[in-house]
């Protein structure tokens, strides 16, 4: 059975104090709710250890993710953070290939594959992001774009590695724009992603969690999560508001 997941990507937001307050409030509200999904938060690098400490103190059911990692094990790479470092502070997940990393930092498949392999070799689970830009959808090339992103990276893993992977579909045109893919569009692409995965990993495709990552919010979460192949969300802005994030968590 596939895991249902609500993952909050805080991006470059909050101070350490604000981040601790956010996760503490989230824990308090979750304590009164029966969660039907796994909950993950992905703070900025500077917050990882304090947030890890805050949730460990309460034996929380919240898991910790990093928003990125280096493509190198260690060495003279000033400003980078390695997968081993992330594992050492308690990260269980790492987001890899987010559309903002692809666009602003020119990350391509070869680099993303290196990162995923390092995440897996350090005992963590990659949340691998795929998705098309507006012009790619409007030209009818969106399926080819997403298939290529999957094949150039995930098809280079073995089955043991693939078992750790969570896929997040980001319609790039719906991130931070206020636009949202309809539930029909989301289901169409999630179903397609599962079919592509089945080409290389037929036994794992039905078990792979595929999250929706395009402006998911309380008003559309229930409809999105009701789709057969939408297993949860990679939540951006709404995860910074504890009441909104809780409402999304309760939408399963």
Contact 240, 196 (CB under 8 A): no
Contact 182, 212 (CB under 8 A): no
In the three-class reduction of DSSP (H, G, I as helix; E, B as strand; rest coil), residue 167 is classed as: strand
Which is the catalytic residue, given 107, 136, 170, 187? 170
Q: How far apart are CA 21 and CA 195, in angstroms?
A: 41
Vertex 170: Cα angle to 185 and 39 (nearest 5): 105
Q: How far is CA 218 from CA 13, 195, 214, in A?
A: 20, 29, 13
Q: How far apart are CA 242 and CA 245, in angstroms?
A: 5
Structure tokens at 84: 């081993």
138 a catalytic residue:
no
CA dihedral sign of residues 158, 160, 163, 164:
negative
170 a catalytic residue:
yes
Which is the catalytic residue, given 98, 100, 132, 190? 98
Greatest CA separation for the chain:
51
Q: How far apart are CA 120 and CA 251, in angstroms?
A: 30
Structure tokens at 209: 């969690």
Strands (E), 102-243: 125-130, 166-169, 210-212, 232-235
**What is the distance, to the nearest Å, from the Cα of residue 237 to the centroid of all Cα atoms in its chain?**
13
Could you give the residue numbers annotated as active site?
Answer: 98, 170
């Amino acid at each position: 059975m596939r895991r249902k997941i609500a993952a909050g990507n805080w991006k470059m937001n909050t101070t350490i104090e604000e981040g601790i307050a956010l996760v503490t409030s989230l824990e308090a509200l979750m304590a009164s709710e029966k969660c039907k999904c796994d909950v993950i938060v992905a703070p900025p690098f500077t917050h990882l250890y304090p947030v890890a400490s805050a949730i460990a103190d309460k034996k929380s059911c919240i898991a910790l993710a990093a928003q990125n990692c280096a493509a190198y094990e260690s060495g003279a790479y000033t400003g980078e953070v390695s997968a081993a470092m992330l594992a050492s502070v308690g990260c269980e997940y790492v987001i890899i290939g987010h559309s903002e990393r692809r666009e602003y930092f020119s990350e391509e498949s070869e680099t993303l594959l290196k990162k995923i392999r390092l995440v897996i070799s350090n005992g963590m689970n990659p949340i691998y992001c795929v998705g098309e830009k507006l012009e790619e959808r409007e030209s009818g090339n969106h399926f080819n774009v997403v298939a290529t992103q999957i094949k150039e990276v995930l098809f280079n893993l073995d089955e043991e590695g693939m078992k750790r992977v969570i896929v997040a579909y980001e319609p790039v045109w719906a991130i931070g724009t206020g636009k949202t893919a309809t539930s029909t569009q989301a289901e169409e692409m999630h179903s397609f992603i599962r079919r592509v995965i089945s080409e290389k990993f037929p036994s794992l495709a039905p078990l792979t969690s595929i999250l929706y990552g395009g402006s998911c919010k309380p008003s559309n979460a229930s409809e999105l999560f009701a789709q057969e192949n939408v297993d949860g969300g990679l939540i951006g802005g709404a995860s910074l508001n504890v009441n909104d994030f809780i409402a999304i968590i309760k939408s399963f």
